[in-house]
């Protein structure tokens, strides 16, 4: 049970708003200590995870890069660009992102996401597209929530179309244990109608978001 101390370090670190990279590093060494690993063994295990897990790579590589870009004015530039498009609204912009995110992940392309796209680009652009609709903090937070939800919906319902994704293999394994034999390609094909419905439902919610912002 002591190895779970690393989870507590992460929770407390984020709760007190410490530097995320330092929190993760501290959690790694606390977990290694609780698991009776020497510092060298802990660093070695972290290195193996770095090579094998894209999640660790995102935390240690993409996040600092995005932070530097934000400091250099990435969000301000994104706002200026989208503000020049008069037909753009928060809902319409997020619908475009929903479509692109769903299509890209359906082909196994993982270049989008909360860290790489939503926080530094999509959310600021949606706020700029809303114009006066994002005039106060509650409205800005609402737009950011919809931007994050758009990425989640697109990724969750679009990734199963890609036959080589882990979720397809998980579903196949569960069905095999229940005596239902299916091929991964069959699961991918049946994911297409679900993805289309998810797109239509969330796109409708985004259009309603524009109406809500216009009323406010």
| 198 shares a domain with 92 | yes
In this structure, the answer to whether residues 81 and 34 fall within a common structural domain is no
Question: Do 80 and 30 reside in the same domain of the chain?
Answer: no
Pair (135, 38) in one structural domain: no
The string of pLDDT tens digits covering residues 19-34 is: 777 887 888 888 888 8
Cα–Cα dist 115/36, whole Å: 33
Residues 6+ apart with CB under 8 A from 211: none
181 conformational bin, left if phi > 0, alpha if psi -120 to 50, beta if neither: beta
Domain that includes residue 145, residue range:
68-215
Within-domain flag for 135 = yes
Clarify whether residues 37 and 141 are in a common domain.
no
Does residue 122 belong to any structural domain of this protein?
Answer: yes
46 and 75 housed in the same domain: no
Flag whether 62 is in a domain: no
Tens digit of each residue's pLDDT (9 = 90 or more) over 57-67: 455 555 565 56
28 within some domain: yes
CA 145/CA 142 separation, integer angstroms: 5
Supply the pLDDT for residue 102: 93
> What pLDDT band is residue 73 in, cutting at 50, 70 and 90?
low
Phi, psi at 181, each rounded to 5°? -95, 115
Q: In the predicted model, is pLDDT for residue 216 greater than 80?
A: no
Do 140 and 205 belong to one domain?
Answer: yes
Q: Which of 2-16, 41-55, 151-165 has the lowest mean pLDDT?
A: 41-55
Establish if 61 belongs to a structural domain.
no
Q: Residue 172's pLDDT band (boundaries 50, 70, 90)?
A: confident
Mean pLDDT in residue range 160-181: 80
Q: Does residue 207 form part of some domain? A: yes
Q: What is the pTM of this model?
A: 0.64
* Most confident range, picked from 89-103, 132-146, 170-184: 89-103
Q: How many angstroms separate the CA atoms of 83 and 137, rounded?
A: 19
- The overall average pLDDT reported for the chain is 81
With 0-12 / 13-18 / 19 or more C-beta atoms within 10 angstroms meaning exposed / middle / buried, residue 67 is middle
Same domain, residue pair 28 and 125:
no
């Amino acid at each position: 049970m002591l190895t779970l101390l690393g989870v507590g370090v992460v929770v407390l670190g984020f709760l007190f708003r410490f530097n995320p990279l330092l929190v993760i590093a501290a959690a790694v060494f606390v977990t290694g200590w609780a698991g009776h690993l020497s510092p060298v063994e802990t660093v070695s295990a972290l290195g193996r995870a770095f090579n094998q897990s894209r999640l660790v790579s995102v935390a240690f590589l993409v996040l600092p890069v995005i932070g530097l870009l934000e400091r250099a004015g990435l969000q301000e530039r994104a706002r200026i660009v989208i503000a020049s498009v008069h037909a753009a609204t928060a809902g319409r912009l997020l619908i475009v992102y929903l479509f692109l995110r769903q299509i890209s992940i359906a082909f196994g392309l993982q270049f989008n996401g909360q860290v790489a796209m939503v926080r530094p680009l999509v959310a600021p652009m949606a706020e700029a597209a809303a114009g006066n609709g994002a005039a106060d903090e509650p409205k800005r937070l609402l737009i950011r929530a919809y931007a994050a939800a758009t990425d989640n919906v697109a990724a969750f319902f679009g990734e199963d179309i890609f036959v080589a994704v882990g979720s397809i293999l998980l579903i196949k394994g569960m069905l095999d244990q229940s005596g239902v034999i299916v091929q991964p390609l069959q699961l991918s094909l049946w994911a297409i109608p679900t993805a289309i419905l998810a797109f239509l439902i969330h796109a409708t919610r985004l259009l309603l978001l524009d109406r809500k912002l216009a009323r406010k």
